[in-house]
C-alpha cells in the first residue's frame, strides 16, 4: 500500500500468503466494505466481535468433544471390563453352587425348584470358561469400536484412528483380569 498499490489488492494478496478461511472471509468483508464506501470503524468492530464469538464457540465445541472422548474411553477401558469381571465372577459362583446341587436328592431338588429357590442344575450349558471367552471377545469389540469412535471424534480423519486400538485393548484386558483376580482372591471361599 505504501508503494501505491490499491488497498483492496494489497489485502487480497495477503490472503494468498496466509492460508486461513477465517482470514480470507474477513479480508473479503473488509474489501467489500471499502468498495461500498461503508463505515470501516463499525465494520471492524463487528468483525472483531464475530471473531471472538466464533473462537468462544470453537472452544466450547472442543470442550464437548473432550467430554465425549473421556466418556467413551471410560466406558470402553474401565466400565466394560469392570462389569464383565464382576459378571464372570458371579457366573463362577453360580456354576459352583449349581454343581453342588447335583448331590441332593430328587425330592429336595423338586422342592427347591417348585419354591423357585434354585434350579436343578441339569440345564446349565453356560460355563465359567464360556463367560470368560465371551467377555474377552466382547471387550475386544468394545475396545476396537471405542477406539475408532474416539479417533474419528478427536482427529476428524480416518488416519489417526488405528493408533489407539492396542492401548485400549490391552488396558481393558488388564483391568478385566485384575478385577476377576481380586474378586477370586477376596472371595476365595465362594469359588
From residue 126, give the alpha-carbon distance in Å to each of 1, 92, 110.
81, 10, 22
CA distance 46 to 37: 16
pLDDT score of 43 more than 80: no
Question: Which grid coordinates are listed for 191?
Answer: 469359588
CA distance between the termini of the chain: 84
> Alpha-carbon Rg of the chain, whole angstroms?
32
Q: Answer yes or no: is pLDDT of 123 > 80.
A: no
From the list 136, 128, 49, 42, the residue with the least C-alpha distance to 89 is 128
d(CA 166, CA 140): 10
pTM of the model as a whole? 0.65
pLDDT tens digit sequence for 160-177: 677 888 999 999 999 999
DSSP characters over 108-128: HHHHHHHTTS---STT----H
Mean pLDDT over the full length of the chain: 80
Amino acid 79: pLDDT: 95
pLDDT of residue 103: 53
| Pairwise pLDDT comparison (129 vs 13), residue with the higher score | 129
Distance, in Å, from the CA atom of 135 to the CA atom of 109, rounded to the nearest integer, reads 31
Amino acid at each position: 500500500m505504501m508503494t501505491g498499490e490499491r488497498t483492496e489488492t494489497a489485502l487480497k494478496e495477503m490472503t494468498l500468503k496466509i492460508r486461513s478461511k477465517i482470514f480470507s472471509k474477513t479480508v473479503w468483508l473488509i474489501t467489500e466494505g471499502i468498495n461500498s464506501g461503508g463505515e470501516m470503524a463499525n465494520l471492524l468492530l463487528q468483525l472483531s466481535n464475530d471473531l471472538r464469538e466464533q473462537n468462544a464457540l470453537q472452544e466450547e465445541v472442543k470442550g464437548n468433544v473432550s467430554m465425549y472422548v473421556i466418556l467413551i474411553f471410560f466406558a470402553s477401558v474401565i466400565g466394560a471390563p469392570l462389569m464383565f469381571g464382576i459378571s464372570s465372577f458371579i457366573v463362577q459362583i453360580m456354576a459352583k453352587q449349581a454343581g453342588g446341587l447335583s448331590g441332593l436328592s430328587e425330592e429336595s431338588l423338586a422342592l427347591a425348584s417348585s419354591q423357585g429357590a434354585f434350579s436343578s442344575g441339569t440345564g446349565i450349558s453356560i460355563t465359567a470358561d464360556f463367560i470368560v471367552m465371551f467377555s474377552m471377545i466382547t471387550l475386544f469389540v468394545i475396545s476396537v469400536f471405542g477406539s475408532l469412535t474416539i479417533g474419528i471424534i478427536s482427529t476428524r480423519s480416518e488416519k489417526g484412528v488405528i493408533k489407539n486400538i492396542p492401548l485400549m485393548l490391552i488396558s481393558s484386558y488388564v483391568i478385566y483380569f485384575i478385577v476377576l483376580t481380586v474378586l477370586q482372591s477376596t472371595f476365595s471361599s465362594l469359588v
